[in-house]
Amino acid sequence: MKKIWALALILIGLGILGCEENTVQYVEIDSTPAAPQGVYTITADEAIYIYWLQVRESDLSHYRVYRSLDDNEYHYIGTSTGGTEEFVDKTPENGTTYYYAVSAVDENNHESELSHETVFDTPRPEGYNLKLADFNQLPDVSGYDFSAYSIVPYNNINADIYIERYDGVFYINVADDKTDIMDMGYTGSIDDISYSPTNPDGWSKIGWSEAILGHTYIIWTSNDHYAKLRVNDIGYTHVYFDWAYQIDAGNPELARPQHEDDFLKRTIKTNLVK
């Protein structure tokens, strides 16, 4: 508890005798906790993970988590007990952007201001161990349609990419000249790539990229959606991928959103709904 010792001077006067006795008394005042800092989120499939730094208050009770659709009107969605600086929101819809803020509450139910960072997230679908084949040998299971989360023939009208094995090497091909691919290099996991680049540089000029074990690739589809693939394993006829796809058109967010640089930008929400 943040304890402020206030000095109270109590005067006991003996008016008729013309003399006074001074007594000093210290009064303990309990103030509200500090607002949590360092709030960030991690994107998942129909879920968002919220994390923040510990608020160091000796009588900290718990944290309250709030959500907004417009960074304006925040609604309470859940509680995390003191000592647990994390919360999982399991109610988001994929493709919708949500804003989050956190407050700290002490044992006397004094609640802090909302955290000051502007933190937002857009969940998206994902999948693991997707198995695609060389289109020369197994054409019906060589393509992938991200929008339907479906394996399709390489020449299907909805295919975004397809796999080819040529001279012993696998390649990821885009399905048409309006779809782009970029090799982001080796990553420890698919979540190491947070956002798709949106600048014109780095995209393949030839419409294909070699499938390299451990590399993650960004796909920019012909209808302006971003996706990513990570090569997990390479067999003789198949390549195995993890994948994620952002169903919010034009949104390059694929894993972890970033805070705005001005760390304490947002003021207290005067229209907070509890």
Name the region of 235 (left: φ>0; alpha: ψ -120 to 50; beta: rest): beta
Statement: residue 208 has pLDDT above 80 = yes
Give residue-wise pLDDT tens across range 31-86: 789 999 999 998 889 999 999 999 998 899 999 999 999 999 999 999 998 789 99
pLDDT confidence tier of residue 263, bands split at 50, 70 and 90:
very low
pLDDT confidence tier of residue 234, bands split at 50, 70 and 90:
very high
pLDDT at 104: 96
In sequence order, what are the beta bridge partners of 151?
Answer: 144
pLDDT at 77: 97
Distances in Å between the Cα of 214 and the Cα atoms of 46, 133, 172, 182, 219 are 26, 18, 14, 14, 16
Give residue-wise pLDDT tens across range 126-159: 999 999 999 999 999 999 999 999 999 999 999 9
Give residue-wise pLDDT tens across range 149-189: 999 999 999 999 999 999 999 999 999 999 999 999 999 99
pLDDT at 258: 42
Quickly tell me which residue has 């909805």 as its tokens.
Answer: 158
**Are 221 and 145 within 8 A, CB to CB?**
no
pLDDT at 199: 78
Which distant-in-sequence residues (6+ apart) come within 8 Å of 44 by Cβ? 123, 126
Return the domain boundaries, the chain. 40-121, 126-245
pLDDT higher at 16 or 266: 16
Statement: residue 216 has pLDDT above 60 = yes
Average pLDDT of the chain is: 85
pLDDT confidence tier of residue 21, bands split at 50, 70 and 90:
low
pLDDT higher at 23 or 60: 60
pLDDT confidence tier of residue 89, bands split at 50, 70 and 90:
very high
Amino acid present at 211:
A
pLDDT higher at 12 or 206: 206
pLDDT confidence tier of residue 24, bands split at 50, 70 and 90:
low
SS3 of residue 147 by DSSP: helix
Q: What's the average model confidence in pLDDT over 107-116? A: 95
Tokens of 33: 């906790």
CATH for 40-121, options being 3.40.1260.10, 3.40.50.150, 3.40.225.10, 2.60.40.10: 2.60.40.10
Rounded to whole angstroms, the Cα distance separating 101 from 13 reads 52
Q: What's the average model confidence in pLDDT over 228-244? A: 96
pLDDT at 29: 58
